[in-house]
A and B are shown apart, each in its own frame.
Chain A
Amino acid sequence: MKPLSISVVLAALSFPALAADKVAVPPAEVEAVVQAMFKSALEDWKPRVGQDETQRVCTDTRNNPPDAEAAKIKARELASIAYPEDGNVMGDWKKGEKIAQTGTGGQFSDEPGTVNGGNCYACHQMAAAEVSFGTLGPSLLGYGKLKNFQAAENKLALAKIFNAQSVVACSNMPRFGYHKFLSMDQIKDVTAYLMSPDSPVNK
């Protein structure tokens, strides 16, 4: 775990914001409670319990980082993005649809070998025919069409899915590529589902 300095600065920033009648608990004490809460975690699950710098800043500012912090997050997250080597960001939209529909993977209840899903429908409207969609994120109905099916926009969509916080600091959308939660092929497939003129999202 690297910079301690950030959390110390932020603790100083965010504590005065608390109401006077509230008890301020030092971050280290909260972290000790967290560690005890997950003390039986398997070795390869332990890293999930901690926080990276972005998670820590977003926690300390309750997803409202000051402008300077937001700029730092976006720059850092942008730097994490990898693009397909052949430059082709569009995969198979049919496979992408399945990924958008799938909400399993990465849970302690999942069978070993479960392929992770992007679960986009948990938060977004996408194809018009799918009425079971969540509202935590904006509607993406007709997203590719809205962007005039431009190649540059396809690349931006892939970047957004790879790391949502490269665009919106402390977004509630998971950083799918950064965490390797979705593979590059999966991200390409979802990009195609979102952006392809053939995809039901744009019909």
Chain B
Amino acid sequence: MARTRHETRTAAGAGALLAFVLGLAGGVAAEETAADQSEKEIEKYRAMINDPMANPAFLNVDRGEILWKTARGSKNASLETCDLGEGAGKLESAYAKLPRYFKDADKVLDLEQRLLWCMDKIQGADLKEILSRKFSGPGKVSDMEDLVAYIANKSSGMKFSAQVGHPKEQQAYAIGEALFYRRSSIEDFSCATCHGDTGKRIRLQALPDFTKPGKDAQDTMGSWPTYRVSQSQMRTMQHRLWDCYRQMRMPAPEYGSEGITALTLYLTKQADGGEITVPSIKR
């Protein structure tokens, strides 16, 4: 069953639970074995917190729905005619099949790139302004994150169906795989340094293995976008990959670039058949 929004949920309820989660994390962090314990404790509460009544990321889902339906931009149009691959305005299962090839753009696009395409073509939106808020922060909401939350949630309960049939999709997948193994920068890291083997950890943080299809990739990809308790923000895979490159000591990757999309397609293929349960909540 798809976990969808509870109409009865209130923002106040989510806020109260959020305060509880943060309090919990803060309390444990005071002790020496902080990372270990807080991860375990949060794991324990995760099932409970995954309840849409309580996960603050459902506020993003709500905002995303409004953004999708509101007429904006120089063309004063909503996004409701945007085709995310399943047909104009059809949101169910769209996220489960992205990134994918779009004939009109003659490119493989991920959700963010496709949204920007629609905002530009359909709404005549001010992309510069929208991209100045590509990631949320204190006092800064992100339309992109909210829209991703709303649209991804429409695939919650469904399974990833990675699109690698079109030659351009096959090419993007191959580029994504090459990027995954590409070592560079001042610590010689690649994605595979941390995600190239099964059952490894960094400090106490378990690392998913993305070199082969299966559970690690499915559990990971199926749980983004997610509410990051440690960041007090909802985050998307676009942000997660940006954060990985930060840790790899690389410069910040371009938002919605071909490389990020290629990597996302590679990871989605490894997660093929995995169930999507989003937005989730993580440490």
Q: Chain A, 40-71, contact with B by CB distance < 8 Å: what is the 0/1 string?
A: 11100110111100010011001100000000
- CB pair A108 B246 closer than 8 Å: yes
The answer to the question of B253 belonging to the interface, with a C-beta cut-off of 8 Å to chain A, is yes
Q: How many angstroms from the CA of A154 to the CA of B199 in the assembled complex?
A: 31
Specify which of A45, A62, A123 is in contact with B192 (CB 8 Å cutoff): A62
Q: How many angstroms from the CA of A113 to the CA of B174 in the assembled complex?
A: 39
Q: How many angstroms from the CA of A140 to the CA of B186 in the assembled complex?
A: 23
A148 smallest CB distance to B (angstroms)? 30
Q: Which residues of A contact B181 (CB under 8 A)?
A: 59, 62
- CB pair B249 A37 closer than 8 Å: no
Q: Chain A, 61-96, contact with B by CB distance < 8 Å: what is the 0/1 string?
A: 011000000000000000000000000000000000
The answer to the question of B182 belonging to the interface, with a C-beta cut-off of 8 Å to chain A, is yes
- CB pair A131 B36 closer than 8 Å: yes
- CB pair B186 A106 closer than 8 Å: yes
Specify which of B171, B190, B250 is in contact with A25 (CB 8 Å cutoff): B171
Interface size class of B (residues with CB under 8 A): 35 or more
Q: How many angstroms from the CA of A59 to the CA of B185 in the assembled complex?
A: 13
23 A-B contacts, Cβ less than 8 Å apart?
A23-B173, A30-B178, A30-B182, A34-B179, A36-B254, A38-B251, A38-B252, A38-B254, A40-B251, A48-B184, A48-B250, A51-B182, A51-B184, A55-B188, A62-B181, A62-B192, A108-B252, A132-B33, A133-B203, A136-B207, A172-B188, A181-B186, A181-B187
Known pairs A23-B174, A46-B251, A59-B181; list 6 more (Cβ under 8 Å).
A23-B173, A37-B254, A55-B188, A59-B190, A134-B204, A174-B187
Binding site for A on B (CB under 8 A): 33, 35-36, 167, 170-171, 173-175, 178-179, 181-190, 192-194, 196-197, 199-205, 207, 246-247, 249-254, 257-260, 262
